[in-house]
Amino acid sequence: MGNIENQIFSSYERNPDLFDEIYDQEGTIKPVYQKLFDIYGRHSIQDYVNLNAKAKSSFFNQGITFQVYSEKDTQEKIFPFDLFPRIIDQEEWDIIEKGAIQRSRALNLFLWDVYHDKKIIREGIIPMDLISTSANYLPQMVGVNPPGGIYNHISGTDIIKHNDGKYYVLEDNIRCPSGVSYVICNRTALKRALFGVFNHYQTYSVTNYAENLLDLIETTKPKGVDIPVTVVITPGMYNSAFYEHSYLAKTMGVELVEGRDMFVENDFVYMKTIRGPVKVDIIYRRIDDLFIDPLEFRADSALGIPGLFSVYKKGNVTLANAPGTGVADDKAVYTYMPEIIKYYLGEEPLLNNVHTYHCSRPDELKYVLENIASLVVKPVDEAGGYGISIGNKLSKSEIESVKKQIKDDPRKYVAQPIMSLSVHPTYIDESHSFEQRHVDLRTFTVLGKDREFVLKGGLTRVALQKGNLIVNSSQGGGSKDTWVLKQ
């Protein structure tokens, strides 16, 4: 199969139980990867080691790092980057793109409904307590009309390929989804290291994200504003995603502000510039709901802008995303997504949902407790991969303690069958060879008033530890450049 002279893949161990994205069941390279496989195969592993070191230092010099918090100190780290790209062909991408838009649209309509008439609850499709007990439901948002009618301007949809070869959505992130800057950096890094590979594939560019983002959020400008002033608000340079905040502000050509740069006066928001106050119309906020306004939410927040929410309620400023969107990306609401899509759009969901058991329902709780070894248990309101237990990785005593946690607060947990994330050949530094690692995909969808944009690409995250299924960067995940082919 040509593998014999291919140095790089000669020692690649293929576990037939896993869905490998570049090999089929018989161990043949899939046609779309053939050229890439041949090109990489011409390199020796030593070439590869060198290229890898080069890519690493390039990230360090560019300061593309994130911070890891520990008890003692915070450390600056590079987001590990893998030089073997992932390819998604046009046909598969069409499903992903349409599916991501469908979900974002449905979630937007759902949010409007939840904070206005609550029809979907009154018609008995979603139980009331699912909403009212959600930690991310903001009663302050009831009756508030966000400018342009958009709640979730930016959605990050986490998608996996299961071993049946189909795409499943694992979760929707519609609070402050991050990671888009890495999509662009990964492309840059791969181009710097191995520019030759791009000659053989027609790949969509990913650098058009910022301009589309700005265009689309500006369609949701407040009433009466002609040319809006847009800013990005960040918690500050010590935030783990600060690089991304500054990248987005820079490429959109707008100011990157902190709460202390802003103030509210006579129902408008202003930023403090060297030439005095300037009115701000649109805020792309990268601060969590509860911190945006100490007068309305957490009074101890030093990150927000006092009085911002009252300006928002009057319709004088756009917040992207709107406050209170977290109620819809809750993992318990996730399980109703097929119903939500059907209810608001009258369509069948294009992307599959993973079957989910609600621990709040007694019969399903019973099933979960009895079958915990074959399930993944997740808290409904945590982000970043924290608090997840994977049944077949737990010891007996760990199982008991997870059971206890669930019984103590059933509403807090859902469980899903253990999905087998597809694997992709990934260069592993310790063994100096390619090995199978699990991957997922985060896509970025932007909703405007009357159109939408999906970044053609996305963040392929890799779980670098063998057998690990959790890909979040805070849990030691890496990433890959992701190519969407033009044909």
Partner 1 sequence: MLARVANNLFWMGRYIERSEHISRYLNVNYFSSLDAPNLMSQDRQFVLRSMLFMVGEPVVDESRKLKEEEVLFRIGLNPEFPFSIINNVKHARENANSARDLISTELYESINKFYHYVLNYPSEVFVKNGLHDFTVNVSEMSAILRGKIRGTLLHDAVYAIIMMGVNIERATQMTRMINSKYHDALCAQGSYGDKFSNSFEWTTLLKCAESYDMMRRFYKKTPTSISTLEFLILNPNCPRSVMNSLNQVFGHIKILDPSKAYNKTSTAFLIGKVRAEYQYKFIEEIEGNIQSFIDDILQSLTEISQKMEKEFFNY
Neighbours of 94 (CB within 10 A): 13
Q: Output 274 or 299, the one with its CB closest to partner 1.
A: 274
C-alpha 172/C-alpha 158 separation (Å) is 6
Per CB under 8 A, which region of 221-229, 244-252, 448-456, 461-469 contacts partner 1?
244-252
Q: Output 261 or 364, the one with its CB closest to partner 1.
A: 261
Contact string (CB under 8 A) for partner 1, positions 315-344, x = contact = ------------------------------
- Single residue of 22, 126, 249, 459 touching partner 1 by CB under 8 A: 249
Eight-class DSSP state of 266: T
The secondary element (H helix, E strand) that includes residue 271 is strand 268-273
Please give the structure tokens belonging to residue 80: 């590990």
The identity of residue 155, as a single letter, is S
Residues 51-90 that bind partner 1 (CB under 8 A): 60-63
Q: Is 204 exposed, middle or buried (0-12, 13-18, 19+ CB in 10 A)?
A: middle
Lookup result for tokens 């101890």: 300
- Single residue of 3, 6, 163, 246 touching partner 1 by CB under 8 A: 246
Residues 89-118 that bind partner 1 (CB under 8 A): none
Q: Which region holds residue 149: left if phi is over 0, alpha if psi is between -120 and 50, else beta? A: left
Local structure of 358: helix, strand or coil: strand
Q: Work out whether 260 is an interface residue with partner 1 (CB under 8 A).
A: yes
Q: Work out whether 381 is an interface residue with partner 1 (CB under 8 A).
A: no
Q: Output 124 or 276, the one with its CB closest to partner 1.
A: 276
Cα 415-417-420 angle, rounded to 5 deg: 130
Between helices 90-114 and 337-345, what is the axis angle to 10°? Answer: 80
Neighbours of 148 (CB within 10 A): 22
Q: Least separation, in Å, of the C-beta of 272 and partner 1?
A: 4
Q: Least separation, in Å, of the C-beta of 63 and partner 1?
A: 4
Contact string (CB under 8 A) for partner 1, positions 261-290, x = contact = x---------xxxx-xx-------------
Please give the structure tokens belonging to residue 82: 């893998």
CB 446 within 8 A of CB 153: yes
Q: Least separation, in Å, of the C-beta of 238 and partner 1?
A: 9
Q: Least separation, in Å, of the C-beta of 2 and partner 1?
A: 40
Number of residues that bind partner 1 (CB under 8 A): 26
Q: Work out whether 239 is an interface residue with partner 1 (CB under 8 A).
A: no
Q: Nearest-CA neighbor of 40 among 163, 184, 156, 201? A: 201
Neighbours of 133 (CB within 10 A): 15
**Order of strands, sheet of 357-358, starting from the edge strand that comes earlier in the sequence:** 357-358, 413-417, 375-379, 389-390
Q: Least separation, in Å, of the C-beta of 274 and partner 1?
A: 4
Q: Distance of CA 422 to CAs 16, 88, 201, 440, Å?
A: 12, 13, 23, 8
Contact string (CB under 8 A) for partner 1, positions 203-232, x = contact = -----------------------------x
Q: Output 254 or 463, the one with its CB closest to partner 1.
A: 254
Q: Least separation, in Å, of the C-beta of 250 and partner 1?
A: 4
Q: Output 221 or 245, the one with its CB closest to partner 1.
A: 245
Q: Output 243 or 344, the one with its CB closest to partner 1.
A: 243
Q: Output 188 or 405, the one with its CB closest to partner 1.
A: 188
C-alpha 69/C-alpha 205 separation (Å) is 33
Q: Least separation, in Å, of the C-beta of 188 and partner 1?
A: 10
- Single residue of 250, 361, 366, 466 touching partner 1 by CB under 8 A: 250
Per CB under 8 A, which region of 197-205, 255-263, 319-327, 479-487 contacts partner 1?
255-263
Which residues make Cβ contacts (< 8 Å) with residue 356, sequence separation at least 6?
331, 334, 335, 414, 415, 416
Q: Output 176 or 271, the one with its CB closest to partner 1.
A: 271
Q: Nearest-CA neighbor of 21 among 33, 10, 8? A: 33
Q: Which region holds residue 22: left if phi is over 0, alpha if psi is between -120 and 50, else beta? A: alpha
Q: Output 139 or 276, the one with its CB closest to partner 1.
A: 276
| Cα-based torsion angle of the residue sequence 403, 407, 410, 415 in order, rounded to the nearest 10 degrees | 20
- Single residue of 37, 93, 110, 242 touching partner 1 by CB under 8 A: 242
Q: Output 174 or 206, the one with its CB closest to partner 1.
A: 206
Give the footprint of partner 1 on this chain (CB under 8 A): 60-63, 232, 236-237, 242-243, 245-247, 249-250, 255-258, 260-261, 271-274, 276-277
